[in-house]
Each structure stands twice: as structure tokens, then as C-alpha cells.
């Protein structure tokens, strides 16, 4: 089974949430750059940048200065359920 970059991004983000956890403000407890995330999922920076922008526009995550905030975890999980 081949996943799109967006699907791989979401699957791996959920893995990171489960592994490192979220703080009381729903911020991922590890700081990551977009370049780190691109390398982690095996994609280019540009594609990860577009994926993050889409998820931000959908009000699912917020990404600022290596900090990933989960705005709507249920919507994030739906991206996997709908694939």
C-alpha cells in the first residue's frame, strides 16, 4: 500500500503525538523543523510545507518556529480514516 505525502505526514504526526505526547495546550512535546519532518517521512521540504499549509488552512494544526500545536485531533485522525 502506498500512501500520499499528506497521508504519511498525518500517520507519522499521530505516531509522534502518541510517542512524545502533547502538553496541556495541545503542543507536541518535541520541537521539529519542517526539514526534520520532510526527512522523517521521506519527502521534500516543499511538499511538507504545502501539506502543513493545507492542515493549517483546515484549522487542524498550527506550526510556528518548530512548535506543532494540534488544534483538532479528531479531524487529524479522520485524514487516516478516510484513506
Whole-angstrom distance, CA of residue 18 vs CA of residue 2: 22
- Decide if pLDDT at 83 tops 60: no
Q: Which residues pair with 28 in a beta bridge?
A: 22
pLDDT digit string (tens) for 35-72?
Answer: 999 999 999 999 999 999 999 999 999 999 999 999 99
What's the pLDDT score for residue 31?
96
pTM for the model: 0.89
Model confidence at 18, in pLDDT bands (50, 70, 90)? very high
Amino acid at each position: 500500500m502506498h500512501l500520499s505525502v499528506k497521508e504519511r505526514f498525518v500517520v507519522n504526526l499521530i505516531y509522534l503525538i502518541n510517542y512524545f505526547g502533547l502538553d496541556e495546550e495541545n503542543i507536541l512535546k518535541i520541537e521539529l523543523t519542517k526539514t526534520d519532518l520532510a526527512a522523517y517521512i521521506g519527502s521534500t521540504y516543499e511538499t511538507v510545507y504545502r501539506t502543513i499549509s493545507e492542515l493549517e488552512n483546515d484549522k487542524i494544526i498550527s506550526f510556528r518556529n518548530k512548535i506543532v500545536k494540534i488544534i483538532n485531533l479528531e479531524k487529524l485522525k479522520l485524514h487516516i480514516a478516510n484513506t
